[in-house]
Amino acid sequence: MDTTGTIFLPPGQSTISGEVDALFNFILFASILLFLLVVILSGYFVFRYRRRTVPGTTYGKDHNVKLEIAWTVIPTILIIIVFIWGFRTFLKMRVVPKDAIEIKVTGQKWFWSFDYPEGVNTVNELVVPVDKPVKLLMSSKDVIHSFFVPNFRIKMDVLPNRYSITWFEATSAGEYNLFCTEFCGTGHSEMIGRVKVVSEKEYGEWLEATAIPAEGISPVEYGARLYQSKACITCHSVDGSLNTGPTFYKKFGEQEMMADGSSVKVDENYLRESILNPNARVVAGYAPVMPTYQGILKDREIDALIAFIKSLKEDTTANDE
């Protein structure tokens, strides 16, 4: 949360940047000490024991148990501290707060696009409210990209055919750079976006102004339409009633028994797999009759369907992912 920055680090503007920077600075400090130890000692020895005449025999002691224990144990303690410290912050980076706004991020040669729950879609500009956690559900349309905002100290690879998730909470309004950090071809270095952090009020106004009513329907509404137009409705109910396939009602986030006896948590990746490759894992008690939608549904449509299935849970239970 330190916003000043140092010669090494750009100003940190997210809730976790303070922790990352503290560890960075701790390692920096310890490294400088160790480095000086090595350099000053070597420099001193070179100066003090430099060769003046043709040497005869020299001092022959070649071990010293106390010294050797010291230079093994002290660094070991240091790195254990660093390891635990780094891991704890890393876990925070990975656990998304419950009340986060969810934005879909799509990486593609060579731009970023963002889909908001309100149906707004932007390219290369991610607008978010300050002091609110934002969850990014990311996937790529082609090769691997990586989503990196230096000021927030977050980075996550964006993969084709799979969702990756990261989140952040910006602590001060402003504009920040968004880089692609996984090499993706000719325009890799042009794949730069901006993250605009605004006040909650401005965010609401921006959403309203940007959402174009006609085509700008929300992913959930879009998904609801697809549910009918792509015939999911013929096999899946949304009210819990039984049909050829399992109901979507209260499905998301549940634990589900599979025909082979394993159990699966219904999350975005599982839903996607079920739609594109339904027979990979068949739900217990059902016949493997669902058609594959590979090549029929576009990524955005799958995203919308998933959003729709997720929404069928929200009315009744609290969001607890």
Partner 1 sequence: MNELPTKSYLNDPKGLKSWLLTLDHKRIGLLYLFSIMAAFALGGIFAMLIRLELLSPGKDFMEADTYNQLFTLHGAIMIFLFIIPSIPAILGNFALPLMIGAKDVAFPRLNLASWYIYILGSAFAVYSMVAGAADTGWTFYTPYSTETTTSVISMTLGAFILGFSSIFTGLNFIVTIHKLRSPGMSWFKMPLFVWGLYATAIIQVLATPVLGITLLLLIIERVAGIGIFDPAMGGDPVLYQHFFWFYSHPAVYIMILPGMGIISELISVFSNKKIFGYKAIAFSSLGIAFVSFLVWGHHMFVSGQSELAAMIFSFLTFFVGIPSGIKVFNWVTTMYRGSISLKTPMLYALSFLFLFTIGGLTGIFLGALSVDVHLHDTYFIVAHFHYVMMGGTVMAFLGGVHYWWPKIWGRMYSELWARISVALIFVGFNVTFFSQFILGSQGMPRRYYNYLDQYQPLHAFSTYGSWILGLGFVIMAVYLVHSLFKGRVAGSNPWGALTFEWTTASPPPHENFATIPETTHGPYDFDKIVPKRTLTED
Q: Of 113-172, which residues contact partner 1 (CB under 8 A)?
A: 142-144, 146, 148, 150-151, 153-157, 159-162, 164
Site string for ligand HEC, 38-77 (x = CB under 6 A): ----------------------------------------
**CA-to-CA separations, 173 to 133, 148, 176, 197, in angstroms, rounded:** 14, 18, 9, 5
Residue ranges in 197-236 that form contacts with partner 1 under rule CB under 8 A:
none
Largest CA distance in the chain: 97
Q: Which of 246, 252, 268, 312 binds ligand HEC (CB under 6 A)?
A: 246
Q: Is 109 in the site for Cu ion (CB under 5 A)?
A: no
Shortest Cβ 230–ligand HEC spacing (Å): 4
Strand pairing of 193-198 and 125-129?
Answer: parallel
Interatomic CA distance for residues 108 and 159, integer angstroms: 10
Residues 174-193 that bind ligand HEC (CB under 6 A): none
Sign of CA dihedral 194, 199, 204, 208: negative
Alpha carbon distance 236, 240 (integer Å): 9
- Choosing from 131, 175, 190, 314, the residue that interacts with partner 1 (CB under 8 A) is 190
* 35 contacts: CB under 8 Å, gap ≥ 6: none
Q: Restricting to residues 59-88, which ones interact with partner 1 according to CB under 8 A?
A: 59-60, 62-64, 67-68, 71-72, 75-76, 79-80, 82-83, 85-88
234 binding ligand HEC? (CB under 6 A): yes
- Does 50 engage in binding with partner 1 (CB under 8 A)? yes
Q: Which residues of 146-160 are buried (b: 16+ CB within 10 A; e: fewer)?
A: bbbbbbbbbebbbbe
Quick one: which segment of 53-61, 63-71, 125-133, 284-292 binds ligand HEC (CB under 6 A)?
284-292
* 240 is a contact residue toward ligand HEC (CB under 6 A): no
Tell whether residue 286 is a contact of ligand HEC (CB under 6 A): yes
How far is it, in rounded angstroms, from Cα 231 to Cα 235? 8
Q: Applying CB under 6 A, which of residues 271, 304, 307, 312 lies at the interface with ligand HEC?
A: 271
- Strand-pair category, 174-180 with 263-265: unpaired
> Which amino acid is residue 110, in one-letter code?
W
Residues 6+ apart with CB under 8 A from 94: none
**158 lies in the binding site for Cu ion (CB under 5 A):** no
The residues binding ligand HEC (CB under 6 A) are 230-232, 234-236, 244-246, 251, 256, 266, 271, 274-275, 278-279, 282-283, 286-290, 293, 305
The residues binding Cu ion (CB under 5 A) are 145, 180, 184, 188, 191
